[in-house]
Structure 1
Amino acid sequence: MTIRVLIADDQGMVRTGFTVFLDSQPDIEVVGEAADGREAVARVAELRPDVVLMDVRMPVMDGLAATRAILDGDGSPPKVLILTTFDLDDYVYEALRAGASGFLLKDASAQQLAEAVRVVAAGEALLAPSVTRRLISEFARVGPRRPRGRLDDITERETEVLALIAQGRSNQEIAEELVLSEQTVKTHVGRILAKLNLRDRAQAIVHAYETGLVRPGG
């Protein structure tokens, strides 16, 4: 199955470079480009991509506002992969809360770019280690934002799985930790997302920290 990608970046050379490389991948097709956030929102509605590569700093409408608009839309919204640089600390937390599926640093290699698209298209969270550290620091600063009671909707086993997701564990690692099959873990993850009305693992990570289920350094 081909992954349809939209590239939103105000730098034409960046869009062209990403397009040339991604179009060379057998399982990825760039279906469109956008030079600002407003155009990105319009192009998503028109083209229905699977993944949007979204720059944060763009004219007219920035990447955060565009992400919110896209993910609040009707139907099945695409996954949004935020393109960021090391100096954008303020955006990390808010982008995840807006529903972004992860972050890709702009100095990533071409192969990392392709793999990032595949990861978020599959519903996984993509958080570079440096981004994860900043995110956890932000959670430590602001503390839990949601009532712990919302976790009453999931079972004790699902709570254990959610805590491990928040620690960045893969399904295989969770299966080994809890002595379960990987398929059973996938089932638990699906139920957690459905019960808590979360889009993907990235939102599950945010939810776990905001409810206080997992604490930075814990």
Structure 2
Amino acid sequence: MTTVIICDDRRNVRESLTRVMTAVPGVTRIDTVSSGDELLARYGRSPAEVVLIGTQRAVAAGVEATRRLVGAHPQANVIVFGAPDDAGSISAAIAGGARGYLRWDATRTELVAALAHTLSSSSVPAPRPSSDTGVRLTEREMQVLRGMSQGKSNGQIGRELYLSEDTVKTHARRLFRKLGVRDRAQAVAHGFRRGLVS
């Protein structure tokens, strides 16, 4: 039995995500709230395995909701979703305790995959110990990570770097391995958390 809480002040966003969530195998309850206060009250009464929180440029509500929820409930698995070019909000949310990131326009497949990764383990991987700050990414791996943080597809990254899509995928797999992550969302989250991208 898997439960999800969606927090965003935009009704259309909450409704759209709810429709997608109903297609995820194993999700048995989806609650929606429109503010951080509602989220804290709802989570306090009925914790969920995953919390999706929206961030918006120049609107601190999503970042603040993340910070308050994780501060009160450190075990909360928060995934933030926002505009791919809104690095400031995403970075602040990650710093505030979010454990993953999705673009607001993520495809159904990407959203389902992110939820599946989260639900397949007891929690989303937490920040790795500081002892691995010596991880060294090649310039190409950094370029691929920056492209991912901007919400670009492997094909788009490849065109910008004059690389084939398969080559971009190879670099992506290597950087995933070095960062100890399983997918793009986690790579971007770790990248923001470590200051590799901004």
- TM-score using structure 2 length: 0.61
RMSD, aligned α-carbons: 3.7
**AA partner of residue 82 (structure 1):** V
Could you tell me which residue of structure 1 aligns to residue 91 of structure 2?
93
Q: Report the Cα distance in structure 2 between the residues aligned to 1:207 and 1:12, rounded to whole angstroms.
A: 28
Identify the match of residue 108 of structure 1 among 100, 106, 109: 106
Q: Contact (CA 8 Å) 2:3, 2:49: kept in 1 or not? A: yes
User: Which 10-residue stretch deviates more, 87-96 or 99-108?
Assistant: 87-96
Where structure 2 has 5 or more consecutive residues not aligned to the other structure, the ranges are 127-143, 151-174
Q: Contact (CA 8 Å) 1:103, 1:131: kept in 2 or not? A: no
**AA partner of residue 47 (structure 1):** S
* 1:66–1:82 Cα change, 3 Å: same
Q: Contact (CA 8 Å) 2:145, 2:191: kept in 1 or not? A: no
Where structure 1 has 5 or more consecutive residues not aligned to the other structure, the ranges are 135-163, 172-200, 211-215
Q: Report the Cα distance in structure 2 between the residues aligned to 1:73 and 1:16, rounded to whole angstroms.
A: 27
Q: Contact (CA 8 Å) 2:84, 2:149: kept in 1 or not? A: no
**AA partner of residue 47 (structure 2):** R
**AA partner of residue 112 (structure 2):** A
1:120-139 CA distance string (max 9 Å, x none): 3433459x9557647xxxxx
Q: Could you tell me how far 1:205 is from its partner in structure 2?
A: 4.1
Q: Contact (CA 8 Å) 1:166, 1:208: kept in 2 or not? A: no
Q: Contact (CA 8 Å) 2:118, 2:124: kept in 1 or not? A: yes
* Aligned-residue identity in percent: 23
Q: Report the Cα distance in structure 1 between the residues aligned to 2:191 and 2:145, rounded to whole angstroms.
A: 16
Could you tell me which residue of structure 2 aligns to residue 33 of structure 1?
32
Report matched runs for 1:68-217 at 5 Å.
68-74=67-73, 77-121=75-119, 122=121, 123-124=123-124, 129=145, 133=149, 167-170=178-181, 205=190, 209=194, 216=196
**How many matched pairs?**
150
Residue 41 of structure 1: SS of its match in structure 2?
helix
Could you tell me which residue of structure 2 aligns to residue 8 of structure 1?
7
1:12-37 CA distance string (max 9 Å, x none): 12211211221233311333101122
The answer to whether residue 20 in structure 2 is matched with residue 21 in structure 1 is yes
* 1:207–1:95 Cα change, 3 Å: closer
Q: Contact (CA 8 Å) 1:21, 1:110: kept in 2 or not? A: yes
Structure having the higher Rg: 1
Q: Contact (CA 8 Å) 1:36, 1:61: kept in 2 or not? A: no
Q: Contact (CA 8 Å) 2:94, 2:192: kept in 1 or not? A: no
Q: Could you tell me how far 1:116 is from its partner in structure 2?
A: 1.1
Could you tell me which residue of structure 2 aligns to residue 145 of structure 1?
none
Q: Could you tell me how far 1:105 is from its partner in structure 2?
A: 0.4
Runs of 4+ in 1 over 6 A off after TM superposition: none
Could you tell me which residue of structure 1 aligns to residue 52 of structure 2?
53
